[in-house]
Amino acid sequence: MANLSRTAKSGDDWGRNELLAYNILIEYQDASTFFAIDILPPPSIAAEVLNTAAAEDMKDEESYALCRYMDIAMNPVPEQESAVDDFAVELLWMMGYAKRPRLVRSHMDIDFDICGEDRRAQIDVCVVDDIHILLLVQENKHHMTQKDPVPQLIAKAIAAFQANNTKRTHLLGQDPITHKIIPGIVMTGTSPVFFKIPVTIELANSVSMGEYPPTPTVVRAHLPSVPRPARRISEGMIPLDNRAVILACYEAFKHRSHFQVNLIFLTSQAAPETVNYTRWYMLYVLSYPQELTFEFQARNEEKAQSMLYRFREAQAAELGLGTRSDRRPKMASTCKSLRECERWRGEILREISRKVSKIQDAGLTDYEVRDLNDEINKLMREKRHWENQIVALGGANYRRNVAMLDDDGKEVPGTKGYKYFGRAKDLPGVKELFQSKKQEQDEENQAQNYYKKFTNRGPSYFGDLDETDEGLLTFEQRAEQDEWEDAYQHLRTALGIPSDAPPPKMPRRAQNHGLLNSGTQKKSSPDSKRKSPDSDDTELSSDGGDVDPKRAKKEAVPPPHQTNGDVELAAPPEDTTLAHARATAAYIPFLTPENLLPPKMPTRDEMEAFLLSLRKKALVEEYFGNDE
């Protein structure tokens, strides 16, 4: 086994291979051997927890909360966090594992020195005092992953041993302990497995240097003997007989493991009134033996008034730990108070701010940065759950805020809801991902800028205003006039018309003719007079006789009316259309002007009358047939 590969892994990444690589064995024992007693003691817990199965039937609030957490923990949602940790915290409190000065903490993150590198070990639930980590609880996340929780628990016990020695040497100035049995519990739903993990300085150093320890480490374990072993996981602590056995094991584990010691009561002889109580307490905490963990009972008047107590309360509030009755619920949907939801959301925001500041540290390794970034994203998801609960309770909708920005004012990058903060944006693989995305975005922006000059164009760009451009109309009319004269020259050559005859005027619509002449009239003097038309210009006869084409073209244009020297070109549309038809009929002798006129459209009344006659005819044919 000494030749097995050993790599730097975090506590959650340990498996069976790591146990073999560091010479760690597991031995299961019965209750009498494991707890060193013949009969399990009765559990020190409320009687209705042992006698009442349903949470709704319980009168005590703490008992109700414990059983409600038990019910929720037994029904985990796939790919989501379960309520096992919440149940473990509540159970440890009620079983007396966390009497003052101990606390029960969840999701505690500590350093793990392995193979010469720093990794992280996140403890699901643990009991701590001012200096040491005393007990560990590891959840079996079988609904989310297939990893074995036992190696994870052992790895975190080694990390806790390293953390305890670091605090002793750096904070207390004491020698590191050489041997410590750390109690641990693995929980699958509400079904526990108890462990006694002996951690030595030799094992800790071997893990730190990535070496094979010559001395084997034997971890003792006990599986509670429930009445129906085959249904241990599915039933858990729901049946009362299972509950009694498991709670008795918790009580024996508290009394007989290295976690429990005799109670120490502070009396007047131990701490005289003349001695400063706070100073005596601090000296006692800093000097108690290595293997000794303790409980103590302060005087009633000093419980809430002592300076140390208030200092610890402020410190816990600052760290977001809270007290027994002041812990953030695991599930936001269980909180029905809008004020409490706002409070827990603010606490999560403070935790996010603290971790975002920490992730900027240049001294962190890439693994620590990844773990911190995962924790921040987990807190972001938890914050979103609380915001949804706030909206459900009728509060403000915080999710309408603008996107999250970094120090440069840019949106925090990420994909599919996962964000990268601080140094996480410079991690290998992440940096290349964002660079490729930035390159694609730059190419897209370049193409968009190229086509942007062709967008938002007005109607003039597409020629929609050409009909109102007087300059363009004048140019077109002049071009038409030139084409008319050129066509007349070809026609005159073909028909043999004398060359000295002037070309006929080009027929135009009244408005176009007016526009053309209005432009020329501006250049002439205002008092200029036009010659009145000749009296010989008469309308074209409709008898179809021989008519000179040139004269017919002249007569096709209606004579303008002279008013004070100005030519008035306006004419009724019907007369203009008829004049155009007559001019065209002059070149097509087999058509009359009436044939060239546009069709007459029926009016609305005529159309309705015609449709009505068709309906009447259809009804007559339907009822009487089409016999005439």
Are 3 and 149 in the same domain?
yes
51 domain-assigned: yes
495 domain-assigned: yes
Tell me the residue range of the domain where 194 lies: 1-260
- Residue range 385-394: mean pLDDT, rounded: 92
Are 483 and 381 in the same domain?
no
Q: What is the dihedral of CA 29, 33, 37, 42, to 10 degrees?
A: 0
Q: Is the pLDDT of residue 598 over 50?
A: yes
Helix (H, G, I), strand (E, B) or coil at 567: strand
Q: Is the pLDDT of residue 135 over 70?
A: yes
- Residue range 355-373: mean pLDDT, rounded: 89
Domain edge (last residue) among 243, 260, 277 = 260
Query: How many other C-beta atoms are found inside a 10 Å radius of the C-beta of residue 443?
Result: 10
Are 505 and 390 in the same domain?
no
Query: H or E segment at 192?
Result: strand 191-200
Greater confidence (279 vs 10) lies with: 10
Are 237 and 355 in the same domain?
no
Confidence band, pLDDT 50/70/90 cuts, at residue 404 = low
Instruction: Give 372's contacts (C-beta < 8 A, 6+ positions apart).
Output: 355, 358, 359, 364, 424
Q: What is the dihedral of CA 299, 304, 305, 306, to 10 degrees?
A: 70
Least confident of 192-196, 296-300, 328-332, 589-593: 296-300
Tokens, residue 304: 């809430």
Confidence band, pLDDT 50/70/90 cuts, at residue 316 = low
In degrees, to the nearest 5, what angle opens at C-alpha 323 toward C-alphas 322 and 327?
60
Number of domains into which the chain is organized: 3
What is the per-residue pLDDT across 521-570, written as a single tens digit (0 to 9) for each? 444 444 444 444 444 443 434 444 444 544 444 444 444 444 443 444 45
CA-CA distance, 233 to 240, in Å (whole number)?
Answer: 15
How deeply is 114 buried, as exposed, middle or buried, from its count of CB atoms within 10 A (0-12, 13-18, 19+)?
buried
pLDDT at 556: 47
Are 255 and 364 in the same domain?
no
CA-CA distance, 177 to 166, in Å (whole number)?
Answer: 10
Domain edge (last residue) among 214, 238, 260 = 260
Top mean-pLDDT range of 239-253, 487-501, 564-578: 239-253
Least confident of 107-116, 432-441, 560-569: 560-569
**CA-based Rg of the chain, rounded to a whole angstrom?**
49
DSSP string, 373-403: HHHHHHHHHHHHHHHHHHHHTT---GGGSPP
Confidence band, pLDDT 50/70/90 cuts, at residue 186 = very high
Are 59 and 129 in the same domain?
yes
6 domain-assigned: yes
Check whether the bond before 533 is cis (ω within 30° of 0). Answer: no
Are 475 and 416 in the same domain?
no
627 domain-assigned: no
Helix (H, G, I), strand (E, B) or coil at 324: coil
- Residue range 265-271: mean pLDDT, rounded: 36
Are 442 and 480 in the same domain?
no
CA-CA distance, 51 to 241, in Å (whole number)?
Answer: 9
pLDDT at 133: 93
Domain edge (last residue) among 453, 479, 497 = 453
323 domain-assigned: no
Are 435 and 573 in the same domain?
no
533 domain-assigned: no
Are 416 and 563 in the same domain?
no
Query: What CATH number is associated with residue 449?
Result: 1.10.287.660
Are 449 and 480 in the same domain?
no
134 domain-assigned: yes
pLDDT at 283: 38
pLDDT at 294: 36
Enter the pTM of the model.
0.46
Confidence band, pLDDT 50/70/90 cuts, at residue 28 = very high
395 domain-assigned: yes
Which candidate, 424, 427, 428, places its Cα nearest to that of 356? Answer: 424
CA-CA distance, 526 to 520, in Å (whole number)?
Answer: 11
Give the DSSP letter of residue 419. E
From residue 247, give the alpha-carbon distance in Å to each of 63, 91, 255. 14, 9, 13
CA-CA distance, 538 to 102, in Å (whole number)?
Answer: 123
- Residue range 460-484: mean pLDDT, rounded: 84
- Residue range 181-199: mean pLDDT, rounded: 95
Are 404 and 545 in the same domain?
no
